Structure 1
């Protein structure tokens, strides 16, 4: 069995890792050269024009746009169109547990729960408040207050949000909070490393616990657990709400996964139902229509083919990707650069099956591009069937 990496969509900064740059790539292309073994890929995260891949050995690999040092390679080259491994010494030789990408910023949390960030610091989103530090070109450790261990990391356009193991959120950079703020949260301002930092925690942690966070362009969603009932149906939202993307909900069933685009959101419930809300001018909600009003304030069901069971959701800037338990990939939404991989550039308002040569075991998205790790069986070497 062979395992390969496929990528499609925008490639103007070499973010598809194909060895060249191009404005669009309308069908999935196999990468011929990688700094990692495809069968060892653990997760894929994309930013505005760059991508990070984390392997099962805790190593980070990057390619694409590097104007702010977001690849973490300590390189001044504008773009890298092939993958390279971020030196392990940059993480103090400790394996990385999780990774995240923003528009022009990247971050990682190691197995020791230490936070590392790199890329743009134009809005102090790296937590650095020193003259001349508008960008950082290699991973830099950032200490949270009282050396709290980092648990989750998420980036918006101009902010970085970190969830600590003590269930507190620290936000570096710029995220405007709606007024009034959600009543479930206590929000205070503090300073860290001479930077202004926003601290967020549940108003009553004995009743509500924040367990994960995801970020859009200028908003953020928090998945919360009701401590008394033990369910995870509550979503709390912060930030810009121009397209109703910061509307909060109490779902009827537990939320298994949250995924966020620039101005739209998706929730995969434990019942395998996928609900989306927010902006829909490009069909990015996958509900079978383009919304003239652009905003959809209440969650609507994704129009997925009957019999398909969702395994994982991924949101690009204005498009979506769903991997099914059968290893198939469906895409929808903004398609200007071939983001949806269907050999066209017209926007799609319904999930569309993408042609891949085998079983997709993993997938990921960036602002205008997609990745998939695909298993294929060599017919010539496959064992013959017996009747």
Structure 2
């Protein structure tokens, strides 16, 4: 499937460019997609699920190079290098930003106020984007019901009830650098290292006692020991952030091990916006805490409830493991980051319930050099 949070990395593009220079070859890109396709989110012109990769219909791109791709519960979004946006799939809540609610089974251009788009994030049934000028837009009504319940009898802000891109208020004095999203929450990282959070707080992922935040709310730096944030990732119900010193903090839902750390008794009861934790129930951890053995990670990615990280050239995994995506040969959840043996990744990526790693390998007959796995 077109996986949530998937991007085309600059580092892999640089590797490909080097290959081209060395081989004098011409490289052409195509888009493959597979998996659930009930709404046409694979951009193949039909709504049949696909168990193996197949070429997507990218005629609308007209050979434009792709910068990033992202997927939500049933919709997909593609950004080109020139900053244009193309969408397909489920649109019952206006999550495609086209102003209507009809599903689209092949990629279609989404006009975004004539602004260049630099980053994209899909929630379950809403979409966030970041423009080159640092503005954040949101569309899709997937969070409307959450907002209505939380804010009644007050009106719901327009960015929760729009089927076309709508400017997110409260960030106008900031230059945003990155956006990411969970199933029902939103995250924005600014250029000066601050995090803003909004949306559903059912699992404590917004670090507040409020059940819902209608506008971007600053995460206090004191919760991260006063450090600036340099990158942020989101699973469906948890958040991972890396600070300027290389430290990695996690918070939000932890019952599958997706926080990658032990939960203390005091921490377990400090903030429970969704109610008390029953035996075997959900652990709600609203305050960030460091995962020490992830310090210095060079790459991190989140699936729905599991994670991967590259640390010191090795691959670590933790969290939900029902489908074996933690790579340890079992289906038992992993509560602390553990080594995935035999892999030294160049790039890593997660889907909702699967994991990927691009690894380099040397070829030849030299006896004094060990191959990279």
Does the pair score TM above 0.5? yes
Structure 1 residues 164, 289: closer, same or farther in 2, change over 3 A? same
1:319 aligns with 2:354: yes
Give the match for residue 296 of structure 2.
Answer: 254
| TM-superposition CA deviations, 1:236-284 (whole Å, max 9, x none) | 1111111121234123662112111111111122x33111111111112
Give the match for residue 364 of structure 2.
Answer: none
Task: With a CA cutoff of 8 Å and minimum separation of 6, indicate the structure with the bigger relative contact order.
Answer: 1
Give the alignment partner of residue 227 of structure 2, picking from 193, 201, 208.
208
Instruction: Indicate if the aligned counterparts of 1:124 and 1:172 stay in contact, CA closer than 8 A.
Output: no
Alignment of 1:142-181 (within 5 A): 142-145=168-171, 147-176=173-202
Of 134-143 and 153-162, the range deviating more from structure 2: 134-143
Instruction: Indicate if the aligned counterparts of 2:74 and 2:125 stay in contact, CA closer than 8 A.
Output: yes
Instruction: Indicate if the aligned counterparts of 2:57 and 2:107 stay in contact, CA closer than 8 A.
Output: no
Partners of 2:180 and 2:329 in 1: CA distance: 30
Q: What's the TM-score, normalizing by structure 2?
A: 0.72
Alignment of 1:15-26 (within 5 A): 15-22=41-48, 24-26=49-51
Partners of 1:285 and 1:245 in 2: CA distance: 11
User: Deviation at 1:303?
Assistant: 4.2
Partners of 1:39 and 1:268 in 2: CA distance: 31
- Aligned positions, number: 299
Instruction: Indicate if the aligned counterparts of 1:60 and 1:86 stay in contact, CA closer than 8 A.
Output: yes
> 3-state DSSP class of the match of 1:203?
helix
1:35 aligns with 2:60: yes
User: Which structure has greater helix proportion?
Assistant: 2
Structure 1 residues 323, 204: closer, same or farther in 2, change over 3 A? same
User: Deviation at 1:101?
Assistant: 0.9
Structure 1 residues 131, 37: closer, same or farther in 2, change over 3 A? same
Give the alignment partner of residue 97 of structure 1, picking from 105, 113, 118.
118
| TM-superposition CA deviations, 1:130-154 (whole Å, max 9, x none) | 3495532111111335621211111
| TM-superposition CA deviations, 1:80-109 (whole Å, max 9, x none) | 11000111xx3x322111111111111111
Partners of 1:7 and 1:205 in 2: CA distance: 38
1:268 aligns with 2:303: no
User: Deviation at 1:157?
Assistant: 1.4
Partners of 2:29 and 2:216 in 1: CA distance: 43
Structure 1's unaligned 5+ residue stretches are: 182-186, 227-231, 327-387
Structure 1 residues 6, 38: closer, same or farther in 2, change over 3 A? farther
Give the match for residue 155 of structure 2.
Answer: 130
User: Deviation at 1:39?
Assistant: 5.8
Partners of 1:204 and 1:117 in 2: CA distance: 27
Give the match for residue 238 of structure 2.
Answer: 219
Structure 1 residues 277, 18: closer, same or farther in 2, change over 3 A? same
Q: Which runs of 4+ in 1 moved over 4 A?
A: 131-134, 176-179, 204-207
Give the alignment partner of residue 108 of structure 1, picking from 129, 135, 142.
129
Alignment RMSD (CA, Å):
2.9
| TM-superposition CA deviations, 1:293-337 (whole Å, max 9, x none) | xx21111122456xxx523222111112223457xxxxxxxxxxx
Instruction: Indicate if the aligned counterparts of 2:248 and 2:294 stay in contact, CA closer than 8 A.
Output: no
> 3-state DSSP class of the match of 2:298?
strand
Partners of 1:39 and 1:282 in 2: CA distance: 35
Instruction: Indicate if the aligned counterparts of 1:288 and 1:303 stay in contact, CA closer than 8 A.
Output: no
1:278 aligns with 2:319: yes
Instruction: Indicate if the aligned counterparts of 1:3 and 1:39 stay in contact, CA closer than 8 A.
Output: no
Partners of 1:216 and 1:237 in 2: CA distance: 11
1:301 aligns with 2:339: yes
Give the alignment partner of residue 86 of structure 1, picking from 110, 118, 126.
110
Structure 2's unaligned 5+ residue stretches are: 1-25, 262-289, 362-373
